[in-house]
Structure 1
Amino acid sequence: MNNKLYEIVEMPNGIKMLSVLPINATGVAEAYSTIRNSPGGVSKGDCGPFSTNLYKKLGLEEGCEDFRTACDAIGISDREVITNRLTAITDKVRIVSSKDLVDYDIYDEPAAPRADGLVTTDNSIALFNYAADCAITVMLDPTLRIIGSHHASWRGSLLGIFQNQVKAFIELGSNPKDIIAVVFPSIGVANYEMGEEAVKMFDDAGYGEFIDHSSFDKPHADLPRMNKHILLSCGLKESNVYIMDDTDTFSDSDMWHSYRRGPIIDGKHLNGMNGYFIKLK
């Protein structure tokens, strides 16, 4: 495989999505993310033109419609998709299957499980996560046909969401050296200023080296570099760890929604949500 990690492709229903090449090239699974400026979206204003807001009150109705359009693009029903109500402050990972679809309504936010990671061996379902600056990571063991998707805020990374995702794979029989991991773009170091309290949390967790104290007036966090370090510490091979760091959610407004970029009006963040899918073939 060449060094290219993704390409923007037109899906069968006409929308554009980001195709994750290290996953899709295996022929075992498929992984895609939505593109903010994709044609065919119905989301409006700063939540548009394409967003997958399932739970956020602002733009919710349009976000759900765009979510269904994205499901159609990858050939699944929205009723075959499992997600979590992300907390951004948990290390919880759920191993799921089609049994979890019983009495399950993906649009029912109050009943949605609070967690940040998903793992499955079931090829009849798709895993979905959403974010607007945090790192979404998809994983695949192509030999045992295990897939995973997890949401990593900086707090989640410090708490161990990556380690617990890998542990879930191991629980299902996986060898970490066989796992392919792709980390989608997050907010980049140039735009991720941190307060002193957050910097102390990095230091206390043993990740102080990933705070840049010298390049900017205030400390900035380097999430892509930290998340790669964590994945390698979990036993993954460096050749199987892919970091999409040539674009970032804050700077590239054509591609990505961003929480920090906002805009923020009357204390409300008016951003949409990027959607991320992975499913077994």
Structure 2
Amino acid sequence: MPSSTHDVAHLQPETRPSPLQSALLAPCESAGIAHGFFTRHGGVSTGIYAGLNIGLGSNDNPAHVHENRARVAGWFGGEEADLVTVHQVHSPNVVTVTEPFGSQRPQVDAMVTDRPGLILGALAADCGPILFADPVNRIIGAAHAGWKGALTGVLENTIKAMIALGAARTSIVATLGPSISAKAYEVGPEFVERFLAHDTAYQQFFTPSTKPGHSMFDLPGFTVKRLTDAGIAADMLGLCTYGDPEQFFSYRRTTHASEPDYGRQISAIMLQGPRV
């Protein structure tokens, strides 16, 4: 774990954020790129938000959310102000980050940067968080991709934005973090038709549901296929947010339980080095 300037040493081990790691991204650490797919463990939120809820848009106690965000930043050795997140709107749009946004977060779904010290974070609670790195040219990215963003190009646009900063397609690697799996993602016929209108080959990501006329959608498989079709190396953690309430928040699980709101976990990546 990177050294931390944020005071997390006083926390009990079980209350410290301890993110999951990607085997594909881990070698990038030698190039000074740190990453983590954070679970809901290690935070101060309570009730339906219990744990490390990062969602500024949730109805959680704002003080708890800010403390949780500070803990994530602390894991990277930074402060809360170094943690950059956007107002995610299920779009294909990407922003190049040169400094923290402050209170005015752009309405986009992906970010890229070549600036050390900025922690790029993608929030999710069933949608796919994807972390990108080019360890050769030291360019990173983070994207939030639900079905709409993945279908309309947020992944490809993130890669293009990285290349515009100096990345090489052949050097970029990406990992999809915890997201809803096919066994938990039932969709109606109009959903399937929307995908097949783009490409009939997308039928491979749908399997029949036990409910007549419905299908189970493999969002993780679709996401990784779009990434590899774009010419980069990509994999997934293969962890389902819906089926693991102990580790992950889930929008769909919350909806099925008729709960009033839900937490969001974060996946984040940073170029190590002093802020410039």
Deviation track 1:214-233 (CA, whole Å, cap 9, x = no partner) reads 35432111011111111111
Question: Residue 225 of structure 2 is aligned with which of 225, 229, 242?
Answer: 229
Report the CA distance shift for 1:67/1:210 in structure 2 as closer, same or farther (over 3 A).
farther
Report the Cα distance in structure 1 between the residues aligned to 2:56 and 2:68, rounded to whole angstroms.
9
User: Who is 1:254 aligned against?
Assistant: 246
Report the CA distance shift for 1:200/1:59 in structure 2 as closer, same or farther (over 3 A).
farther
User: Who is 1:276 aligned against?
Assistant: 267
Give percent identity, aligned residues only: 25
What secondary structure, in the 3-state scheme, does the structure 1 residue paired with 2:186 have?
Answer: coil
Q: Which runs of 4+ in 1 moved over 6 A?
A: none
Q: For the aligned residues, what is the CA RMSD?
A: 2.0
Question: Residue 129 of structure 2 is aligned with which of 102, 125, 136?
Answer: 136
User: Who is 1:20 aligned against?
Assistant: 22
**Structure-2-length-normalised TM-score:** 0.85
Question: Residue 62 of structure 1 is aligned with which of 46, 61, 64?
Answer: 64
The answer as to 2:24 corresponding to 1:33 is no
Report the Cα distance in structure 2 between the residues aligned to 1:58 and 1:195, rounded to whole angstroms.
32
Offset, 1:58: 3.7
Deviation track 1:26-52 (CA, whole Å, cap 9, x = no partner) reads 22201112221x24x211112112211
Report the Cα distance in structure 1 between the residues aligned to 2:179 and 2:257, rounded to whole angstroms.
23
Offset, 1:264: 5.6
Amino acid at match of 1:241: A
**Structure-1-length-normalised TM-score:** 0.84
Report the Cα distance in structure 2 between the residues aligned to 1:225 and 1:151, rounded to whole angstroms.
15
Deviation track 1:129-166 (CA, whole Å, cap 9, x = no partner) reads 21100001001111100000000010001101111011
Amino acid at match of 1:256: F
Runs of 5+ consecutive residues of structure 1 not aligned to the other structure:
1-10
Report the Cα distance in structure 2 between the residues aligned to 1:264 and 1:63, rounded to whole angstroms.
24
User: Given that residues 98 and 115 in structure 2 are in contact (C-alpha distance below 8 angstroms), is that contact kept between their aligned partners in structure 1?
Assistant: yes
Report the CA distance shift for 1:264/1:112 in structure 2 as closer, same or farther (over 3 A).
farther
Offset, 1:252: 1.2
Report the CA distance shift for 1:264/1:58 in structure 2 as closer, same or farther (over 3 A).
farther
User: Given that residues 210 and 223 in structure 1 are in contact (C-alpha distance below 8 angstroms), is that contact kept between their aligned partners in structure 2?
Assistant: no
Offset, 1:269: 4.2
Offset, 1:265: 6.7
Report the Cα distance in structure 2 between the residues aligned to 1:50 and 1:270, rounded to whole angstroms.
15
Offset, 1:22: 2.6
User: Who is 2:73 aligned against?
Assistant: 71
Report the Cα distance in structure 1 between the residues aligned to 2:252 and 2:61, rounded to whole angstroms.
17
Report the CA distance shift for 1:265/1:235 in structure 2 as closer, same or farther (over 3 A).
closer
User: Who is 2:3 aligned against?
Assistant: none
Question: Residue 187 of structure 1 is aligned with which of 160, 180, 183?
Answer: 180
User: Given that residues 39 and 52 in structure 2 are in contact (C-alpha distance below 8 angstroms), is that contact kept between their aligned partners in structure 1?
Assistant: yes
Report the Cα distance in structure 2 between the residues aligned to 1:148 and 1:212, rounded to whole angstroms.
29
Report the CA distance shift for 1:197/1:59 in structure 2 as closer, same or farther (over 3 A).
farther
Runs of 5+ consecutive residues of structure 2 not aligned to the other structure:
1-7
Amino acid at match of 1:146: I
Report the CA distance shift for 1:211/1:20 in structure 2 as closer, same or farther (over 3 A).
closer
